Amino acid sequence: MTRRLDVPAERGGNRTCYSCGNSYPDHVRFCPKDSADLEYIPQPIEKLAVDFGRPKRCKAVLIFSIIVLITGGLLAMDRLISMPVSSAPAVGELTVRTIPSGARVYLDGSHVGVSPVRLSDIPTGVHEVRAVFPGYTDGKAHVEILPSAAQKLVWDLAPLPASKKTDRNKYLAELSSKGVSAAIEVASEDSI
């Protein structure tokens, strides 16, 4: 004769479902009616209320937690203070273009190239930049170089009176003899 498990055992059942109140034999782990765990024994609400009502233990746990947090914070601050400061690059970049191209570019009085020129690893701060091209007015500016910044400087150099134009042709011929890689045509005085 088979017996259904959803019917409480008439005798010998020693597990009671806390949810529905039925008793079941030892080999049944979960209540067939509501799937409640028969091994779970719920605590009475009065006992739970007593556990939360222990102010001395709560205060001790709270004080311990605060001490741990403060100690951890102090250790973290100590590590931050003792760490070497990673210095951000104190250099910047400057690109100088001139119209016409091929002007000699000077940075703080030192020749650094022929325009267009890209200057990197320039220390931060204010620097004097000059562009010199024979037959044209000189370009001069004070540029502030910012850390890790790429800046551009473009000059449209104004032509000088006709008496200075022969110096320009000599300058262009000198540049081409030095192998400067700029596409510059030497113009005759009549075409200028």
- Inside any domain, residue 182: no
Quote the domain boundaries for residue 141. Answer: 91-161
- Tell me if 131 is assigned to some domain: yes
pLDDT the model gives residue 181 = 45
Euclidean distance between CA atoms 50 and 73, whole angstroms: 34
Which pLDDT does position 30 carry in this prediction?
Answer: 83
Distance, in Å, from the CA atom of 60 to the CA atom of 103, rounded to the nearest integer, reads 78
Task: Please state the domain count of the chain.
Answer: 2
Residues, the chain, total? 192
- Higher model confidence: residue 186 or residue 24? 24
**159/134 Cα distance (integer angstroms):** 9
- From the CB of residue 4, how many other CB atoms can be counted at a distance below 10 Å? 6
- Residues 42, 97, single domain; the answer is no
Residues 21 and 76 placed together within one structural domain of the fold = yes
| CA-to-CA separations, 169 to 74, 111, 123, 161, 192, in angstroms, rounded | 72, 20, 35, 14, 11
- Say what the pLDDT of residue 8 is: 47
pLDDT digits (tens, 9 = 90+) for 43-66: 666 665 555 555 556 777 788 888
Q: Is residue 70 included in any domain, yes or no?
A: yes
Q: Would you say residue 188 lies in a domain?
A: no
Residue 72 resides in a domain: yes
Question: Quick one: DSSP state of residue 158?
Answer: P
